[in-house]
Amino acid sequence: MSRRTWAGLGIAAAAAALIIIMQVPHSADTHTRKQASEPVIPNPKQEHLSKQSLMAQDIASTDHLTRLDAKQHLTSMLTKLAQAGPAQVSDYVRKLQQSHDHFTMIIWQDAKKGKRQEYTITKSNWNAADRKILKGYLDQAEKNIGKQRSYESTSFKMSGKEYFVIAEPSKQTPKQGVIALMNQRILTEVANHQKKNLRLIPYPKEGKYKVESVHADTLRDITVRTGHDNEKASHFYENEIVVRFRQDPSRQDLNRIISELRAESSRKLGYAYVFHASGMDYSQLKSYFMKNWNPQYVEPHYLYMTNDKVKESTSSLPNVPNDLLFAKYQWNLPAIETNQGWDLSRGSNDVIVGIVDTGVDIDHPDLQGQLLTGYNVINPDSDPLDDVGHGTHVSGIIGALVNNNEGVAGISWYNKMLPVKALDKSGSGTTYSVAEGIIWAADNGAKVINMSLGNYADSQFLHDAVKYAYDRDVVLVAASGNDNTERPGYPAAYSEVLAVAATDSNMKRASYSNYGDYIDVAAPGTSIASTYPGNQYAALSGTSMASPHVAAMAALIRSRNPDLTNKQVMDIMRSSTVDLGPKGRDKYYGYGQIDIYKALQAAGTTEAPLQFWPQHVQKKMDSVIQKNK
């Protein structure tokens, strides 16, 4: 059907229902989870406070990501420019500042040669008091470089903008080092982003469509008002043990265990805990836990290693990528067995993931080579550039480059992404824009489509677009929403779409996550580290972050077994979960939290899984009959 025809239908529908991004943050709940109990649903006041806390958590995490990324760039610069002349240093710095304009000032210092070169990206309007503050931090940085020490300041303000100073000494050339003044505007951007998406402020009339929100039944305008670090270890973990308790230990219990074992570390992976105590071997550790804690089971720490032959690793997880932020910040990937799943599938160029969202930062270094030429529904003559940040973040969760020594690792290594900008600069769009985005993605090769967006209005027009894609064998995945409500959101609630709720690092329901009988699965959604415009990284929370985990898993499944239909892929994802909350399917977690390794095992390699064998045979027979006609 032509675009003109779709436009006519959109106008005739007379329901340009606002599609609002539905993200969700969620903090780690330290209370013990009881398998048989239902999650506690917060009241409006508790929900508001929880969202405020989660937003603060996202801002703090983004601050840490920014500092770690800056440190990496300075260290890399020192390594590459150790023997470089002034012209080479100047050329390198200018290129870095052009692509990373948050490096407001870079100072190259070589005390041995008596040289100090300052590079400032723009002329500043700092007053005398500002410059005095800055000089104090720069002096401290220079002193630390002289002592061959790294330096990092606290955040401070100049002319109303937030900055920090970071410095790194050269490990190769004494008295040489580099200092950077970093602009932290990303913290304000993340705060503003989350205020909107978590409904902490009324939705602003700043987008192309000039609509705040609509009543789900009448479609009349209304205003919305708030509504694991991995321990280094060899392939054989002689001093470690895996323990699953009958009931999760409290913080006091964990402190007691760590003290009694003199354990160097403890960490939780899924339902189980891993303890490392160099003063005890496995048999001693087993004896301790069996005697004192009556666990459900204990095992040596090979539980998370695959049966295939693997190289000796410096981590307790298989397939640990070297991406800078993975070990400290990407708790979400091990939580859904992504690392083990990579032994079965890392994706395929033949399976394309459409991302109907706010567009993408096509120049982000961690997305290079992963993006296909997409489409801008809002302005068809322009590239689908991201002016919000949301689509770039979603894209990084799905397919950020893996093992490139930079930033984050995506869930898929090889699946290409097709960015479709259907939401404008306010993060909203009409029924028509989203419908067109879905149809365009389906017509241009997408086998999986992620929709981290939603609305409470049941639009037949949008549903028709969903059916159009589904009938073309596309797996559709959507976020459930961030309003802590049982009311169905669309497109997530359509039967052709896999609806995703959000969990936190303790595998508990995110307090903001929508729920209901339409929920299919849950996935990590709290403080998820990913790519962000301006060649940066941010931590965001929301069901918008949970949904791309599921879309990426669908792409891995389709890459492993291309013979599976979209319905079969969706059935595998539902049946291979980790059951959470009340036993069996429930309205908070659906069938449970996704498990990539289990799903890929179920998907098989060249033939359909046994439970789909009759349909698979019928499909092949139909294909043969069709060819012989």
Tell me the catalytic residues: 357, 390, 544
Estimate the crossing angle of helix 543-560 against helix 390-399, to 10 degrees: 40
Question: d(Cα 235, Cα 302) in Å, to the nearest integer?
Answer: 9
CA gyration radius, the chain:
25
User: Beta-carbon neighbour count of residue 116 at 10 Å?
Assistant: 12
Length of the chain in residues, anyone?
629
* Structure token digits, residue 609: 């899984």
Cβ neighbours of residue 451 closer than 8 Å, sequence gap 6 or more: 356, 357, 434, 438, 476, 477, 478, 479, 491, 492, 497, 547
Ordered alpha helix ranges (H), 293-362: 326-329, 332-335, 338-341
One-letter amino acid at 156 equals: F
Name beta bridge partners: 353. 417, 448
* Structure token digits, residue 518: 């339409």
Cβ neighbours of residue 488 closer than 8 Å, sequence gap 6 or more: 456, 458, 516, 518
* Structure token digits, residue 184: 């932290």
Phi-psi region of 106 (alpha: psi -120 to 50; beta: other; left: phi over 0): beta
- Identify the CA nearest to 91 among candidates 106, 113, 102, 109: 106
For residue 424, CA distances in Å to 160, 207, 353, 551 come to 28, 6, 21, 22
> Contact at 8 Å (CB) between 529 and 537?
yes
DSSP 423-486: S-TTSEE-HHHHHHHHHHHHHTTEEEEEE--BBSS--HHHHHHHHHHHTTT-EEEEE--SS---
Cβ neighbours of residue 471 closer than 8 Å, sequence gap 6 or more: none
User: Beta-carbon neighbour count of residue 83 at 10 Å?
Assistant: 8
Question: d(Cα 382, Cα 428) in Å, to the nearest integer?
Answer: 18
> Contact at 8 Å (CB) between 566 and 475?
yes
> Contact at 8 Å (CB) between 357 and 422?
yes
Cβ neighbours of residue 554 closer than 8 Å, sequence gap 6 or more: 448, 475, 477, 498, 569, 570, 573
Question: d(Cα 339, Cα 532) in Å, to the nearest integer?
Answer: 23
Ordered alpha helix ranges (H), 375-418: 390-399
> Contact at 8 Å (CB) between 376 and 529?
no
